[in-house]
Amino acid sequence: MSLLIAPLEALTDSRLSDSERRVLLALFSFRGKSTNTVWPSLESLAERTNIHDKPRISKLTSSLAKKGWLTKKKRGFTGCNQYELTVPANLVNSTNLDASTNLEQDTNSKLANYTNSNLAESTKYKEQTNEQTNEQTNKRKKFDAAFTDLPDGILKTSWVEWCEYRKSKAKPISQAAATKQINFLLDYSFEDQKAIVDTSISNDYQGLFPPKGANNGSRFNNQSAIIDKTYGPGATDF
């Protein structure tokens, strides 16, 4: 079970459409107990509001911003919006009880203290939900050539050694480069692949070269290694 904590004004604001209210309450559901800043993705809002139209959700959050319920801005490289939730100033006092109204002591509207201690740990609010954190973590994951799926014709030990060498030089192999380098190595035997990698590492090359004296009908017989302009002459990272 999850609990939603939101201001009463979110329900009583007559200016809000049903869709706007659903988006607003969904945003409050991502709020932490000590912050009013949230940054759920449009996909997460679509799932939580059951409005599976991301452009529409974006327009609804913009409408909420115009009505004073939030401010939004892009958040770093994640592509998600960051929302600062607030209550419009003109609504803050509209739902308060009149000052002359006195509540009986035994009808105090505050929850008894013991009910707080009985809340399940899983229902206590965190700054971000687990799914939101996982979603953003996955976006930050980078391609690692050492763990890419290799065809049967590739000597895995040499390929991993080559990938680790490139990472040690702060020049990790991109996904596109890995595909082309694997295709390059497939033209050679395991013995030649090991020699190619060993030669590049021992000479501090940033690319792979055909072995000397290769005359096996390889596509490299009549041309030298392709030069990768990224690392200068003599390097191949194609």
Residues 135 and 181 in one domain: no
Q: 226 in a domain, yes or no?
A: yes
Per the structure, the complete domain to which residue 134 belongs is given by 9-95+125-139
Rounded Cα distance, 29 and 79, in Å: 20
- CATH code (residue 47): 1.10.10.10
Q: What is the pLDDT of residue 129?
A: 54
Determine contact, residues 68/88, Cβ cutoff 8 Å. yes
Q: Rounded to two decimals, what is the model's pTM?
A: 0.41
Residues 201 and 234 in one domain: yes
Residues 234 and 131 in one domain: no
Domain count of the fold of the chain = 2
Residues 148 and 86 in one domain: no
Residue with tokens 């030298």: 224
Degrees to nearest 5, angle at CA 15 with 10 and 17: 80
Residues 135 and 179 in one domain: no
Q: What is the pLDDT of residue 200?
A: 94
Task: Using CB atoms within 10 Å of the CB of residue 207, give its burial: 0 to 12 exposed, 13 to 18 middle, 19+ buried.
Answer: buried
Q: What is the pLDDT of residue 177?
A: 93
Mean pLDDT, each 10-residue run in order, the chain (238 residues): 84 94 93 84 92 93 94 78 90 54 44 43 47 57 87 94 93 92 94 94 92 57 37 47
Residues 131 and 165 in one domain: no
Rounded Cα distance, 134 and 208, in Å: 37
For the record, the structure tokens of 147 come out as 């763990």
Q: 220 in a domain, yes or no?
A: yes
In single-letter form, the type of residue at position 35 comes to: T
Residues 130 and 27 in one domain: yes
Q: What is the pLDDT of residue 231?
A: 45
**64: number of CA atoms within 13 Å, CB side?**
28
Residues 191 and 219 in one domain: yes
